[in-house]
Amino acid sequence: MLSYRHSFHAGNFADLLKHSIYIHCLEYMTQKPKCLRIIDTHSGAGIYSLNSTEARKNSEHLGGIKKILDCTALPAIFETYRQQVLQFNHQDQSIYPGSPALAMSFLRPIDQLFTHELHPADFRLLQNLMRSEKNIKVHHEDGMKSLLSLVPPPDKRALVLIDPSYEVKQDYHTVVEQLLKAHKRFSTGTYLLWYPVVSRARIDEMERIFKKSGVRNIQLFELAITADAHEAGMTSSGIIAINPPWTLWKAMEEALPFAVDLLSKSALNNEPTGFYRLEQLVEE
């Protein structure tokens, strides 16, 4: 949808989960000497100012990255995330890197990054951010439409981040359908599908489809700041990961309970109002 701009939500609790997992996968997969193809299907502007009018409208970053930056002791996966964000900042910590900027931090000369953005203003910002990098392609389109043309990559190694806005309810079905088609073409790639929990029924349906798909090695990581509340805004978000690094599960076992405690404390009794999910949806 052309109305969605991530600048209103940059650095929120959902970004904390999504980007810490993404960074972990980038770090792990770029350790091997072979070329890695990184595909970002919904890239946004690439980098954001937390002092912008959009970011300050709801100040969602105060319940996400701000709390991480203020912590002195963090689980390893969040500390790595924190350090990556700090690399883009000076004293005021007002810059938040989106997924394209984070991928650039790990990109080696042998790697390729394919970014996609449909919103015209954000596309121009993304294009400007990436213009000097020869191994980065910036496409003015919905990345789900070009995903099938990008897999399998020549070196048979790819990390795919799928992060739509879900403003159109059909997106919940479309992204799963396209991801499964991509997996059929390239079954050994690592796929990260982000989802918001606005209606739990839609997420339950996504999970049922994956469980029946025949795809192996699917893990789910979800972080909630409050209990489910039907159509009352995003209360949780999660990542469905196919073929994730073997190190990710242990990292999230430590990180998710910490995040619930850090991000969802009630002002009334100082008790967490949220919860987390750490599930192996389908075995290897």
Rounded to 5°, angle at Cα 283 from 277 and 284: 130
Strands 95-97 and 218-224: unpaired
Q: What is the CA radius of gyration of the chain?
A: 18
Strands 158-162 and 37-40: parallel
Distance of alpha carbon 104 from alpha carbon 112, whole angstroms: 10
Distance of alpha carbon 16 from alpha carbon 35, whole angstroms: 27
163 in catalytic set: yes
Q: How many helices and strands in the chain, by DSSP H and E?
A: 10, 10
Strands 136-139 and 112-116: parallel
Closest CA to 142 of 169, 113, 171: 171
**Residue 217 · residue 242 · CB < 8 Å:** yes
Distance of alpha carbon 218 from alpha carbon 241, whole angstroms: 6
**Residue 134 · residue 52 · CB < 8 Å:** no
**Marked catalytic residue, from 15, 40, 111, 163:** 163
Distance of alpha carbon 237 from alpha carbon 224, whole angstroms: 7
User: So which residues are the catalytic ones?
Assistant: 163
